[in-house]
Amino acid sequence: MEQQDKFYKGLFFGAVLGAAAGTIMGLLFAPRKGTETQQIISGKVKHALDKATEFYENNENDAAYSNEAKQRSQEIIDTARDEAKKILNEANGIIREIKGYPKTQEN
């Protein structure tokens, strides 16, 4: 057990030292300034997002699936709304009976 603990400690310290050495080497030998590198990376990310958005919007199959999903979700919402109204009307009727008010006719 003690030997295994030493192994994991060595592994951890090796990883930390490797990360520190890599960071220092990256800073010393970087071909560009940090701001330039950030601009390049953000430009590439923006370009990739634009391409992904364009691909998504141009895909006709996604539109068909999207419309079907919207229709099904709307049906579920409508059904849940109707059931909630029924339950609310029943609860209001029970409350009216408890309070002694006359029962109203339901639609």
pLDDT tens digits, one per residue of 66-106: 677 778 888 888 889 889 888 988 888 888 888 776 655 55
Residue keyed to tokens 């890599």: 22
Q: List, for residues 16-49, the tens digit of each pLDDT value.
A: 999 989 888 877 777 777 778 778 877 888 888 8
Altogether, the residues listed in the chain come to a count of: 107
CA distance 49 to 43: 10
Helices (DSSP H) in 29-59: which residue ranges?
34-58
